Amino acid sequence: MPRTLEGTPPDAARHAPARRNARWSQRLCLAAALTMAWAVAGCSRPVAHVEPDVRIVTDDQGTLVNQARTATLAPGLRHMRIYNKGKEPHEAMFVQLPAGMSPADYVAAVAGGALFPEGALDYSGPGLTAASDSMDIWLPLDPGTYLLLCWNKDHATTLPPAVVTVTGAPHDAELPVADATITMREHHFAIDRPITAGDRVIEIVNAGRAMHELDILALHTGATLADLARWREGEASDSVFSGPAPATVRGGALDAHRIDTRVWIRQRLKPGRHALYCGMPLDSSAVSGQPFRNHADAGMVLEFLVR
């Protein structure tokens, strides 16, 4: 679970590319209109299972994109699916590298304690996904060179990332119609309607001033949010959990320097108690590989029921 700071985003975030073509804006408006129409009608409609054109495979040896350590993608809204084939949770953060920074430079900066190597921009990505699980995400990418890496435990420095070049004519995937929208602010989550079991599309919006992220956790029988907090108290690095797990990670959406980035995720949810969790650091002095207080400690954790 990556790393973000409170308050005004860094200068690099203010100058992040703002290229979104007319097709993207029109499709965003159409998706919002369709979502409202379904909500007003009270309909329960099936999710269209369009196959993704980008496949991310994570395991305990690193990250692959479309079966390769290097890949080229078109810019625009991309539909991706993460498959975790490892034995522990993994995630896949897109990080756009600035001119002159190599993948090795970025990894070295993280190894030296940097949570946000200077000039590099987080572009979100699929959140922590349990072993043998998968999840879909719709995510906008601008032209550039990206690392795709896992921030769980020490994976950002010990597992090889994928290198993704985003170039060429824009290509926008078809936007899904959301079953629910989760809004993130300082320091809380809001869900706009009940979430029922099944394959569900969730739109994730950051309406705050700081960077946020969202992990979905299926709480085990009898587990509480206090158990979840204790599980995190003993962490020795960015995302190392302490003791028996009170929950199973079910994916989510990682942080983005562009505060207004919207993403959509699709996950098969079972009935039961779940939690939303933001693991971004509160303190600007937080160091990679060291414990820190995060947004969940400030109240950004929410229990909800999938019926």
Work out the average pLDDT over 147-159: 94
Q: What is the pLDDT of residue 50?
A: 78
Position 65 pLDDT exceeds 80: yes
* pLDDT > 70? residue 215: yes
Among 273, 278, 275, 269, which residue's Cα sits nearest to residue 298? 278
CATH superfamily of 11-44+52-306: Cupredoxins -  blue copper proteins (2.60.40.420)
pLDDT at position 233 is: 65
Average pLDDT, the chain: 85
Judged by average pLDDT, the poorest of 20-34, 93-107, 210-224 is: 20-34
CA distance 245 to 74: 39
Is 60 exceeded by the pLDDT of residue 62? yes
